[in-house]
Structure formats: C-alpha cells, structure tokens
Amino acid sequence: MNTTKATNRTISVSIYALLWFVLILLQTLVTSVQALDGESVFSRPELYYSTWLTDLYLVGLFYLNYYFLAPRMMRRRLYRPYLWMLLVVALIGFLIPLLCYAVWGLTMPGVVEGSAPLSSLGVVGAVAAIALGLAIRGLIEWDSLGQEVRALREERDSLATERDRLKLELSTLRPADRRGEEPVVVSLQPSETEGGEATPDTHA
C-alpha cells in the first residue's frame, strides 16, 4: 500500500513538473518570436534569465498558496490579510526583474540597453497564481465537505433504521419474556393428607 502511494505521488510530481516545464518553454518561445532581431533565446539566452527566475517564483508561489496560505487563511476567515498578502507577492514579482538588473545586470527582451526592466509579468503572474490556487483549493474543499455531509447522512439513516428495529423488537416482547422467567404462584390454602382427610385436631 505504501509503495503504491509513493509510486502514485512520484508520477503526479513528474506530470506536474513536466507541465510547468512545457508552460515555461512555450512562454519563452512566444517571447523569443515576438522579440527584436538579435534577442532570440538561442542567440542571447541571458536576456531570459530574469524571466525564468520570475517563472520559478510564480510556480513556488502557486504551491505555497495551494497547500498553506489559502486553506489556513480562508478557514480562519482572514480575508483582509489575504488581500494584503496578494499585494505583497505581486510587488515581489514586480521587483524580481529589477533586482536581477541591479545585482547581475540582467535585462529582458525588448528593453533598451542600460535601462531597468519594468515588466508586469511578475504582477500578473502572481495574481494569476494566487487566483488559480485558491480556485482549485476551493473546489477540492467543497467536494470534501460534500463527501463528509453524505457520510453523516448515511450514518444518521443507519442509526434511525437500527432504532426502529429495536423499537419493533421491544414492542413484541411479553412481560414474562422481559423478566426472563415464568411467574410463580403461591397457594395460601391448608395442606391435606394423601387420603383427602384433614389433619386431626390435637387439642380435642
């Protein structure tokens, strides 16, 4: 059983990793096609380093929100802190290309040489990752709640059936059967001899 679960988990992780890789690859190819001459990913891959770093941040943000932030904050009804958290992660997504430019001098396709890359990729991606994770988590929690309600209803119906059966059995029992013994009859008449004569009076 444990081996099967571990195998299924490995397969799921591999499928999701492949899906994220395909999405990042498609984004890179689309950006490369739309870029100016000499800014292709094949000729100048360093232009895409900050984009790939932002993509990795968005993937990590999706799983962080899906497994921890969304379920815990929504169950505690922390709606306003959740919105503030959304603004913070969007700001971080906006600052990642600027930090890459300030630290390593990395720019992005379509940005003039010597100017800081101002991109909305991190902002839009952060909002999309949070919204997608929240929606998927909400659907899963809704389905789980529905299963719990169905299980409780089935248990209630089973208990009601058992109660009715016990009531029927109790109503069919006789009073003697309820005590578990036959009634005892006590005679208060004087005893007689075997011949049917009364015992003689000793005082005569």
- pLDDT tens digits for 55-70? 999 999 999 999 999 9
pLDDT > 50? residue 140: yes
Q: Over 90: is that where the pLDDT of 84 sits?
A: yes
Mean pLDDT of 139-150: 87
The pLDDT of residue 179 is 52
% of the chain with per-residue pLDDT over 90: 41
CA atoms of 22 and 58, how far apart (whole Å)? 15
Q: Where are the domains of the chain?
A: 2-162
> Could you say which DSSP state residue 47 is in?
G
Cβ within 8 Å of residue 183, ≥6 positions away? 176
- What amino acid is encoded at 150 in this protein? R
Do the beta carbons of residue 73 and residue 82 sit within 8 Å? yes
Q: Is the pLDDT of residue 32 over 80?
A: yes
Using CA atoms, how far apart are residues 74 and 70, in angstroms rounded to an integer? 6
Q: How many CB atoms lie within 10 A of CB 141?
A: 14
Q: Which two three-digit tokens encode residue 74?
A: 């929504």
Rounded to whole angstroms, the Cα distance separating 56 from 62 reads 10
Structure tokens at 51: 């984009």
Tell me the pLDDT band of 75, cut-offs 50, 70 and 90. confident
